[in-house]
Amino acid sequence: MAVNTATTRLEQQWRDILSVHARTMCEIDRVLHPYGLGASDFEVLDILDAESPEGGGHCRVQNLVGRVHLSQSALSRLIGRLEKDGLVERSVCVEDRRGVWVALTRKGRDLHAEVLPLQRAVLARMLAEDRAQDVSVTP
């Protein structure tokens, strides 16, 4: 019986994590929609900004794959949309022609800076709600 109880608690913790993630992603999507961005779009911009905060830097698309929760093909389509919108630019890696570099444009950097406080506010609010819920149900 103890194993079942432990397993049940573990399953519930997992479902709670998934629920918080889903609600948070939906809220980020809602808040960023007026700016033409979704949560995954923002994640890519945020990672690229962190890779080169002073600008001018770039990141291999292959290195982004493990950092965002998208397949390589979905990430490539997302980067294509961001490029079409003028937020990122892609270039071929000279050292390895199979590789592709992606970098924020000035427009992408400016948009990221504008929406960053909105995304962080959603995270603070949603994760605070989750922590408050954890406190209220903890025996």
Give the tens place of pLDDT for each residue, 40-88. 999 999 999 998 766 556 788 888 888 898 998 999 999 999 999 999 9
CB atoms within 10 A of CB 63: 13
pLDDT number for residue 14: 94
- Closest C-alpha among 127, 95, 118 to residue 21: 127
- Distance between CA atoms of residues 94 and 97, nearest Å: 6
- Distance between CA atoms of residues 118 and 86, nearest Å: 21
Taking 50 as the threshold, does the pLDDT of residue 22 lie above it?
yes
